[in-house]
Structure 1
Amino acid sequence: MAIKKQFLKSKPVCKVTFTVPTENANNVAVVGNFNEWNAEATPLKKLKNGSFKGTVDLEANNSYEFRYLIDGEYVNEVEADAFAWNEFASAENCVIKL
């Protein structure tokens, strides 16, 4: 899994590209506090090599909690900037700092 950050010079926005290398999955989405944890809001597209990829525009100078939803199962990003415990889910969320 990987995260790529591209900061825009013209406005305080960062284009964040999420890549999930999984050949066996049917549906992958990134969910977080930036999309109200809505799995339908940010689906990732399946590439020819079997991985899933998608880009989200996020406001710079903020941090966001997120997780991947792979075929209905939550998975963390190993390359996250940090991790934060979530009492509601009784699990750690990934944190991206922009």
Structure 2
Amino acid sequence: MIKRGKQAQSGQVKLTFSVPVDQAPGGLSVVGDFNDWDPYAHPMQVKRDSYELTVTVPADRPICFRYLADGGVWFDDVDADYHDQHGGHLRPVAQSVEADDEPLAVSA
């Protein structure tokens, strides 16, 4: 699950990522273009029965991300706005997605 915060005057927005612990026993990180794909930059913390992490990103551009579980297992979030061979893409500020929207630009 992904929760989007409200855009701040600074042009930043907080994103909260949440994944049930049973999907990745052992550990999990959020890895993406916002942290230069560094698997150690954003390890998720266990909160009750899920891993959670909140990051602050620019609100004006889509981000590309994936989850990395212990053992080198990559997986995508079903709540991403768009998926392709590079992972999930997310518009940090909630926007409606029309059927005829162009795919988001891939950055990585």
- Tell me if structure 1 keeps the 8 A contact 2:63–2:89: yes
Unaligned runs of 5+ in 1: 87-92
Question: 1:70: Cα distance to partner?
Answer: 1.4
**Cα displacement (A) at 1:7:** 2.0
Partners of 1:8 and 1:77 in 2: CA distance: 22
| Structure-to-structure mapping, 1:1-98, within 5 angstroms | 2-23=1-22, 25-49=25-49, 51-71=50-70, 72-86=72-86, 93-98=87-92
- Structure number having the greater helix percentage: 2
Q: CA deviation at 1:14?
A: 0.7
1:9 is displaced (CA, Å) by: 3.2
Runs of at least 4 residues of structure 1 off by over 6 A?
none
User: Aligned equivalents of 1:9 and 1:58: distance in 2?
Assistant: 11
Given that 2:30 and 2:67 are in contact with CA atoms closer than 8 Å, whether structure 1 keeps it comes out as yes
TM-score (norm. length: structure 2): 0.77
Q: Which has the higher strand share?
A: 1
Which 10-residue stretch deviates more, 73-82 or 5-14? 5-14
The RMSD of aligned alpha carbons is 1.3
Count of residues in correspondence between the two structures: 90
